Amino acid sequence: MNLDPYRNETPPRREVLPGGAVLLSVPMRTAHAVTLGVWLRTGSQDEPSGLGGVSHFLEHILFKGTTKRSALEVAETFDRMGAAVDAFTTKDMVAFSIKVLPEFFVEAVTLLGEMLFEPEMDPKLVILEQDVVCEEIQEALDAPEDRLHEAFSGQLYGSNPRGRPILGRPGVVRTFNSDLLRREHRRLFAPANMVISMAGNIMDGFLEVVAETFSRAETTEPAGPGYVEEESNAPAAAFIDMDLDEADPFRLDITSPIIQSYFEIGNLGIPFHHEDRVPVFLLTNMLGGGMSSRIFQAVREREGLAYTVYNYSDMGRDIGLVSCSGSCSPDKLERLEDVIRMEYYRLISEGVKLAELDSNRAQIKSQLIFSLEGMVNQMYRAARNEILYGRFLPVSELVDLVDVVGVDDIVRCADAYFNPDSLLVAVLGPEGFSPSSDPRP
């Protein structure tokens, strides 16, 4: 009996289309549908200076009609096929995806290609979508986690473009016009900047349809990491009128008329190519990833200081961060900070027992192997591996990397990235709170 079937994983079929776009395909015999994603190798951190938010805005405007169909006709056609359509923008990439039954695949791909390569860019619709995106930015203002994270990451990243908000700022978004958007569209949708990934019930002829559809992209100067113009000054925190050049490197306090205090406690981390990538994944999980993690147990289970508390890492192309995030009552915040620091000190000074490391290895390896299940996961994995690493990373290779992480690696990374003496503590919460003024019933 083969107890490690994931070691027999077949890499995606890879083809370079005319012009330079990469097509990846993962056939799955048990799938009943097909999913396809069109990915751009660049995201918000690659935008030219002064055009923050343009990638996200283009993601929006491409749904607003083509030279052949109105936005309503595009939406009605996808709905008639029962297609699930999605799109998103991150700091690293932009993606458009469809999930559809095989009998509608050719029509869905044709429509997606029309949407991506033949946008109308109607000036009236651009103005209308500016209102929509500004509403989205305003909505983020009312989401404490989003607002705090933008300020926290903006202060840590400083002048690095990764500190820019994905959505942009209203004043910049209002400057986008049809001509500018057409220029940026040609640059971003250059074939060399595109990865097309598909998975599921891939039937005869599907690959040829996709290749034909996405070989017609215009060949122009590709958008790459080297395109970005460096900011002369550190960006102000998103949505907050403050100069991060003058900020305390260890403390960031933002007042807001809310009940809870939201916190981010962290430090600069590593890029995704760094040799500490896997140890940091393990360490982050050990500190605040699962129910048995140190921070979760100390903060929530032992002292009841918070309902939500977790650790995470953000690894970018050339920089990253690590953080402990969550929310608590303002009167518990001081104790919560102390507990988190004490847990970090304890790990660094006392080390880690092998049983704890083995438990976390099992958790991370399970998450990796679970990613093999489901065609959407397979489509995502293939595209992200191509964009981030330039090659396919078998799960077995990642599992082997997890297995060789030792106790000394964990402690070394804890001291390097979670040292309690170098943490930035960012808090968004009410002003002038005292236990006697608690507004809760």
Contact predicate 395/372, CB 8 Å = yes
Q: Residues 47, 59, 343, 386: which is the catalytic one?
A: 59
Contact predicate 367/420, CB 8 Å = no
From CA 397, how far away is CA 156, in angstroms rounded? 32
3-state SS, the chain, equals: CCCCHHHHCCCCEEEECCCCCEEEEEECCCCCCEEEEEEECCCHHHCCCCCCCHHHHHHHHCCCCECCCCHHHHHHHHHHHCCEEEEEECCCCEEEEEEECHHHHHHHHHHHHHHHHCECCCHHHHHHHHHHHHHHHHHHHCCHHHHHHHHHHHHHHCCCHHHCCCCCCHHHHCCCCHHHHHHHHHHHCCHHHEEEEEEECCCCCHHHHHHHHHCCCCCCCCCCHHHCCCCCCCCCCCCCCCCHHHCCCCEEEEECCCCCEEEEEEEECCCCCCCCHHHHHHHHHHHHCCCCCHHHHHHHHHCCCCCEEEEEEEECCCCEEEEEEEEECHHHHHHHHHHHHHHHHHHHHHCCCHHHHHHHHHHHHHHHHHCCCCHHHHHHHHHHHHHHHCCCCCHHHHHHHHHCCCHHHHHHHHHHHCCHHHCEEEEEECCCCCHHHCCCC
Contact predicate 255/147, CB 8 Å = no
Q: Is-catalytic flag, 59?
A: yes
Distance of CA 182 to the CA centre of its chain: 25
From CA 288, how far away is CA 321, in angstroms rounded? 15
**Residue owning tokens 């040829």:** 208
From CA 174, how far away is CA 129, in angstroms rounded? 10
Catalytic residues: 59
